[in-house]
Structure formats: C-alpha cells, structure tokens
Chain A
Amino acid sequence: MTRNLPSVTIVRKIKASPARVWAAITQPKQMMQWWGPDAGPTLRAEADVRPGGRFSVVFRLLNGEEHNPTGVYQEVVPEKKLVFTWDLPGISEPESLVTFLLEPIAGGTRLTLRHEHLPDEEARKSHEHGWSGLLDKLPIFLEAFLGVAE
C-alpha cells in the first residue's frame, strides 16, 4: 500500500496492551472518555464496529460549538487495525479516512494514527490530478511557505 495523500500521522507508545487500547477505541462508553479536541465534554458515542457499520460521536468544545463526526468502518481487525471514513455533517469538507494501527511492543502498544485526505470523485477520475508526489513533505512546505508569505 503506497499512498501519498496529504495526511496527519501521530505515533504513540502506550503502556497498556493492544486489547486494552482496542477496547478504548471501539466501545462507545470508553470512546466518550477521550474523544474530543479540547477539554470539552463528549456527549454521545455510537459505534457499530464491523465493516460497513457506522460510528457517530458528538462532542462539545469549550467554546460551546458542537460537532458530530460520523463515518463507516472500512476495516476491522480486532486489536490490530481499525479503519473508518470521516465525515463532518454540515461542513463541506473533503472526504477523509482515519486509520488506527495497534502493534504489540515490549511493555505495551505502539499506536499509529493516520488521518488522510481522500481525493474526491472528480480528482480520482482525472489524470491531471494524480496523487503522485511526496505529500508527506507538504506540511513542511506549506509551513515554510506561509511563514514568510503572510
């Protein structure tokens, strides 16, 4: 699998077993305890964890805004891999895909999270808009570029 889509990747070493981490990312009760971009509350979590099943999480930010990411599970390999699409209703956002990879390491789990932007239908069909470049360097490029262009 060589994909070079614009993406955000975060790796964490966790002192807990893959089984423990898997429970935290797939059981709604536990998802509610960590899912959210700031200290605001997670209000609801639903997860039908099987390929084709849906998830839905509602969280409220400290500024009062509520968001409801939803998506469909694409790949479910217990204690190893969880892949789902990501959609924010009401916000015209590019389609994206989230992957959780869990690997057992000495003393725990290495978790790799990737959130990647997916090309839309139009871009997929077009030869002109191929995704061939090294987009993992894109954030560095953008930061350098915009840092001075402001």
Chain B
Amino acid sequence: MVKYQASRMDRTFSALSDPTRRAVLLRLKEKPGLSVSELARPFSLKLPGMMKHLDVLSDAGLITRAKTGRTVSVHLSVRPMREAMAWLKRYESLWTVSLDRLVALVEEDGER
C-alpha cells in the first residue's frame, strides 16, 4: 500500500476545493509553462490575487514555478492528485465489495 503524508493530502484536497484553482490547473494542463500574468489574464484577477492562489497550489505540491530572467513560468505536478484519487478509489472499492457481501448476508437469511 502507498504511504501517505496526511497533512500533504489535506493541502491537496483543500487546494482543489476552490474553482479558480481547479481552473488554473486545467489551463496549465493545456498550456504548460504559462507565466503568472498569462495565467491571471482570463480570470480577471489581479496579480496579487493570482499569486495567492499559486502559493496555495504550490504548498500542496500541485505546481512548480521556475524563474527565467524576469518571467516566472508555472508547471503542473500531478502526483498529489494521483494520491488523492488513489485514496478515493481505495475506499470506494473497499466499501463496494463489503456492502455487496453485507447485502447478500442480510437478504439471504431474512429476519432473525
């Protein structure tokens, strides 16, 4: 089983809970390496506002930023999302199978 760092997954989930930040990630998926101002443009966000969102995404390990000269380019990092997905999938499959068996058990023998 994969080991998780609880607090990092919290940061991942919390970072993903905001629609603007999810939109930023989608945009970066289409266009890797966008600069901060290019990212901010379609969201009608001022730069400091965008920087704040990027800080949250960066704390959660969802993006990395690289400085070239005076431009900061932003890249995706999908590993935390894979871990979050694995958490959801794992419990979905645990309970789906368990509940199948539970239903079979209680329906089979009727009332006791």
Which residues of A come within 8 Å of B, CB atoms?
A: 4-6, 8, 10, 12, 14-17, 19-21, 23-25, 30, 33-38, 65, 91-96, 111, 113, 115, 117, 119-120, 122-123, 128-135, 138-139, 141-143, 145-146, 148-149
Contact = CB atoms under 8 A, between A and B. Distances in A.
A128 B5 CA distance: 19
A149 B16 contact: no
A8 B6 contact: no
B70 to A, nearest CB: 28
Contact of A122 (B7, B78, B85, B106): B7
A133 B1 contact: no
Given A143-B85, A145-B81, A117 B9 contact: yes
Interface residues of B, number: 47
B84 interface: yes
Contacts of B87: 6, 93-94, 117
Nearest to A35: B98
Contact of A14 (B6, B85, B106): B106
Interface of B: 1, 3-7, 9-11, 13-14, 16-19, 22, 25-26, 29, 56, 76, 78, 81-82, 84-85, 87-88, 91-99, 101-107, 110-112
Contacts of B19: 133-134
B4 A36 contact: no
B99 A12 contact: yes
A95 to B, nearest CB: 7
Contacts of A146: 78, 81-82, 85
A24 B102 contact: yes
Nearest to B108: A16
A94 B9 contact: yes
Nearest to B10: A123
A4 B18 CA distance: 12
A149 B29 contact: yes
Contacts of A34: 98-99, 101-102, 104-105
Contacts of B103: 12, 14
A37 B106 CA distance: 18
Given A16-B106, A123-B11, A149-B78, A36 B3 contact: no
B111 A17 contact: yes
Contacts of A4: 17
